[in-house]
């Protein structure tokens, strides 16, 4: 097998690893959710998300709403327990921001990134050797 054929195969393998890691990242990523207090309104806030009544929330959601109002952002592993974005409590509408973000510390998120960097390293090394070859 010639040197150029071996380099071509390594280039294909490196690029395949990169593409596979991108697919793996989107398939296996771990998203966490954050619930943060924004502001209060006397009237219903227009263009706001779903509304819930404080009395109708579960005790866990009530604690999360109270803690967020007190200034402590709430974090969730999945979106199932996140309270509504607007909560009416004692006649006042409280508006919250509920958003998701990548959990980079989770191996399911961080692993594909490392594999992709390895594939990128293989691809760059093959290209570097090809440029240096007389």
For the question of whether the overall pTM of this predicted structure is more than 0.75, the answer is no
Rounded distance, CA 103 to CA 32, Å? 6
Q: State the pLDDT confidence band at 134, using cuts at 50, 70 and 90.
A: low
Report residue 3 as tokens. 């040197």
For the chain, helix, strand, coil in percent to 5 are 50, 25, 25
Angle at the Cα of 48 from the Cα atoms of 43 and 49, rounded to 5 degrees? 125
Closest by CA to 68, choosing from 99, 30, 102, is 99
Identify which has the larger pLDDT, 25 or 18. 18
pLDDT tens for 78-128 read 778 889 989 999 989 999 988 888 777 777 777 888 899 999 999 999 888
Q: What is the pLDDT of residue 49?
A: 74
Where does residue 48 rank: exposed (0-12), middle (13-18), buried (19+ CB within 10 A)? middle
Rounded distance, CA 9 to CA 12, Å? 5
């Amino acid at each position: 097998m010639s040197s150029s054929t071996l380099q071509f195969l390594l280039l294909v393998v490196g690029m395949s690893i990169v593409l596979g890691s991108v697919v793996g990242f989107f398939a296996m990523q771990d998203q966490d959710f954050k619930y943060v207090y924004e502001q209060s309104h006397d009237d219903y806030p227009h263009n706001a998300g779903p509304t819930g009544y404080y009395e109708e929330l579960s005790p866990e959601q009530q604690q999360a709403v109270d803690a967020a109002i007190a200034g402590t952002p709430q974090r969730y592993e999945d979106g199932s327990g996140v309270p509504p974005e607007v909560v009416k409590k004692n006649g006042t509408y409280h508006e919250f921001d509920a958003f998701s973000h990548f959990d980079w510390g989770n191996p399911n998120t961080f692993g594909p990134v490392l594999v992709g960097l390895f594939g990128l390293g293989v691809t760059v090394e093959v290209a570097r050797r090809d440029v240096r070859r007389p």
